[in-house]
Structures are given as structure tokens and as C-alpha cells.
Amino acid sequence: MGLFGSLNLNNNEQKSEKKQKDPSEHIQVLIIGSGPAGYTAGIYAARAGLKPVIYQGMQAGGQLMDTTEVENFPGYPQGITGPVLMEDLQKQAERFGTDIRWGEVTSVDLSKKPYTAVIDEDIVVTADAIIIATGASAKYLGLESEMRLRGGGVSACATCDGFFYREKIVAVVGGGDTAAEEALYLSTLAAKVYLIVRKPEMRASKIMQKRVLNNPKIEVLFEHNTLEVLGDKNVNAVKLVKHQGQDNEEIYDLPIDGFFLAIGHKPNSDIFKEFVNTDEVGYIVTEGKTSKTNVPGVFACGDVQDSSYRQAVTAAGSGCMAALDAERYISETEFNEKE
Ligand code: NDP
């Protein structure tokens, strides 16, 4: 509590402000997040009889709700839209008894068992095991036009949407390994790829830079920033500013069909960081090939612990792992308590 708060409150008021509500419910396996990882964890945990409860979070269905066609999720030879895929996964989890609820987990206490989670800063629940499947959010530049044209040519996932730009002209923003990788991937499909890099050099590893610079389809626009994405319903150009020394700028429109963001992702791990180990970017660290975090009984799956693959199918696979790890943890804990 801040200094002014302490001065303005007497002791009783301080206590009542600090006191958390009593838990309204005890849950065996609490799953936080409703992307492919969370729903798959729900399917497995429910089939194992663990009565899982999923709190869906701010964006029910996760990042795939922003995607149009998904053509690389196994089992859908004709492709499927992101929202329908997530609806199917939700139904499949519900079919085995997963209790799926609206609500965002706004804080947790993982310092003692049973673990506590607060939903929407109001409802308090306890849980024997927690599966964190809160995903990651792609970073955007923050332009109004960029938000408006999401799904109309603006994308933060070349692997998901690149296929729709066969023989088209696209631009990728960013100078890191992701941007290099996405530009190289898009160069196998598109007729031309511009890579918009804000500095005079790229941050990507040397080998990736070399590949990008040697690719005849990729043109790197160093010292360029994006001012606006242009287009009514679909992207048709991007307004760029080229910096040429301190007071010398050139503003121009570059015709393109697709605009890809590759300026990094932010794992949604903030509320867990006090208890769970994360790397320098914020990705939750899991143990070896498991979903175990440093807190016994707390598991992480999907993009919140994966900076490398970030695919719907890999997230689903890791959701399965987390449910199996939770099942083992619960049965071992029960066994130890009976001993
Ligand atoms: P990074 O943080 O490494 O790079 C982000 C890039 O986006 C930087 O070039 C940065 O510019 C640029 N950027 C950030 N904000 C803006 C903005 N507002 N406008 C314009 N440009 C912006 O993120 P990545 O996703 O590329 O990589 C994350 C991690 O994953 C890294 O450690 C990377 O090495 C790793 N990775 C490895 C891969 C591989 O090995 N195959 C593949 C993909 C990722 P600036 O440089 O000026 O700050």
C-alpha cells in the first residue's frame, strides 16, 4: 500500500481492504485461458475425471478468434475458420464435462496450497492444480488503421495467413529473427516482400540477416517507419517515412496487398510472475520436456511458455501434456496423503 493510503486509513479499514473474500468454491483442476492449449487441457482433464473448470479470459477462444482461414490444423483437409475451430474445441471439452465459464483470472496466490485465484477481481476460488494457458499477444504498432484492417490484410502471423498472398506484394515490419523468418517464408509465396526495419541495421541473427539480404524477392527498407496502413476494407498500401539524417524525411505510399507485424509477442504471464519463474521476456519456464513450472501442481502450456513454435497445433499438444502432468500430480498427491 502506498504512503497516502496508509495515512488515510485506520487499522480496521486497512485490514478490511487487504482481506480477500472467502473462497466460494474448491476446484480440482483450474485451467486459465481458452485457446487451443486450454481447451485441449480441458478435454484431457475432463476425460480423466478431474472435473476441470476453465475461465476463458478476456478473449474467449484466444488469438485464433482473430484469424480467418486455418489451413494447417491437422484433421481439416478443407481448412476451417479460427472461430469455428475454437467453437469445436470448446464443444469437445464441454462434451466430457469441462465447466467453461466467462471471467478473467485477475490475480493468483500460489504461495500456499490450496492455490487461490480471483476472478474478475471479485470471486475467489481455490484449486489443487492450476494449468496456465493464457497465451501471448502479438505486439501491434498501435495505429488506428492497423486495428481497422485486421482480418483485411493486416496480420501478425505469416504462417497462418501467408498462403493468401500468393504472387501478391506484402510488407513485414520488424528487424528481429521473427521478422526475418516471416519475410523468408512469405518470399516462397508472394511475388515481392518488403521488410520495414526502423534502424539502419537488423537485430536478427547474422545467418538470418544473410538469408534475407541474399533473397532476391526481399527488399529491406532500413530506417523506415510506418505512419499508416491504407485501404478501405482491404490493405492496398502503406504510408512510410524514410529517415535520411536528422532533419531529412521522405514520406511516401508503398502499394502492398498484405501487412505483417513481426515486432515481438508479449506472453500473458504478468499475474503469475511473483510465483512462477519466467525468462527475461516473460515466457513461463517449464521443466525439461514437461509442462511443470517451479511451483508444484502449477503447469503451463501453449504460447505463454513457448517463444519458438507458437502454432495452434503445438499449443494443443502442450495442453494435452499439462493435463496429463496435472493428473499425475493429483494422483501422486492423493497417494502420498493416504500413506
Ligand atoms: P525481437 O524482440 O527480437 O525483435 C523485435 C523487432 O521488432 C526488432 O527489430 C525491433 O526493432 C522491432 N520493433 C519493435 N517495436 C517496433 C516498432 N514499434 N516499430 C518498428 N519496429 C519495431 O522479437 P522476435 O519476435 O523477432 O524474436 C523474439 C525472440 O525469439 C528472439 O530472441 C529471437 O532470437 C527468437 N526467435 C528465434 C528464431 C529462430 O532462431 N529461428 C525465430 C524467431 C524468433 P529494434 O531492433 O529497433 O528494437
Catalytic residue among 66, 160, 257, 306: 160
132 in any annotated domain: yes
Q: What's the 265 CA to ligand 1 centre distance in angstroms? A: 9
Q: What's the 202 CA to ligand 1 centre distance in angstroms? A: 9
List the helix and strand counts (H, then E) for the chain.
9, 19
Q: Do the beta carbons of residue 257 and residue 149 sit within 8 Å?
A: no
Do 74 and 123 belong to one domain?
yes
Q: Where are the alpha helices (DSSP H) in 115-241?
A: 144-148, 158-161, 177-187, 206-213
* Category of 327 on φ-ψ map: left (φ > 0), alpha (ψ -120 to 50) or beta: alpha
Catalytic residue among 22, 88, 120, 161: 161
Do 130 and 276 belong to one domain?
yes
Do 38 and 121 belong to one domain?
yes
Do 193 and 153 belong to one domain?
yes
Residue whose grid cell is 494422483: 331
Quick check: is 301 catalytic? no
Q: What's the 262 CA to ligand 1 centre distance in angstroms? A: 7
2 in any annotated domain: no
Do 98 and 160 belong to one domain?
no
Do 233 and 313 belong to one domain?
no
For residue 263 and ligand 1, the question of a CB distance below 6 A is answered with: yes
Res 14: pLDDT: 44
Q: What's the 174 CA to ligand 1 centre distance in angstroms? A: 6
For residue 264 and ligand 1, the question of a CB distance below 6 A is answered with: yes
Do 221 and 130 belong to one domain?
no
For residue 174 and ligand 1, the question of a CB distance below 6 A is answered with: yes
Do 173 and 74 belong to one domain?
no
Which of 261, 293, 324 lies at the terminal end of a domain, its last residue?
Answer: 261
Do 255 and 280 belong to one domain?
no
For residue 226 and ligand 1, the question of a CB distance below 6 A is answered with: no
Which of 215, 237, 261 lies at the terminal end of a domain, its last residue?
Answer: 261
Which of 211, 242, 261 lies at the terminal end of a domain, its last residue?
Answer: 261
Using DSSP's 3-state secondary structure scheme, residue 88 falls into helix
Nearest CA to ligand 1 atom 35: 177
Q: Of all residues in the chain, what percent are helix, strand and coil, respectively (each to 5)?
A: 35, 25, 40
Partnered with residue 240 across adjacent β-strands are 226, 252
Res 5: pLDDT: 31
Res 134: pLDDT: 97
Atom of ligand 1 nearest to the CA of 263: 7
Nearest CA to ligand 1 atom 5: 263
Do 299 and 319 belong to one domain?
yes
Q: How many domains does the chain divide into?
A: 2
Instruction: Decide: pTM greater than 0.85.
Output: no
1 in any annotated domain: no
Res 64: pLDDT: 84
**Domain ranges, residue 307:** 12-137+265-338
Average confidence (pLDDT) per 10 residues, the chain, 339 residues: 33 49 92 97 98 94 77 91 94 98 97 97 96 94 95 89 94 95 95 98 95 98 98 97 86 98 94 98 97 98 94 96 98 78
Look up the CATH number of the domain holding residue 122.
3.50.50.60
Quick check: is 320 catalytic? no
Using DSSP's 3-state secondary structure scheme, residue 272 falls into helix
Quick check: is 157 catalytic? yes
Q: What's the 180 CA to ligand 1 centre distance in angstroms? A: 9
Do 71 and 83 belong to one domain?
yes
Q: What's the 267 CA to ligand 1 centre distance in angstroms? A: 14
Q: Which of 141, 178, 278 to mutate to test the pocket of ligand 1 (most atoms within 8 A of CB)?
A: 178
Rounded distance between C-alpha atoms, residue 95 and residue 90, angstroms: 9
Do 288 and 234 belong to one domain?
no
275 in any annotated domain: yes
Atom of ligand 1 nearest to the CA of 199: 47
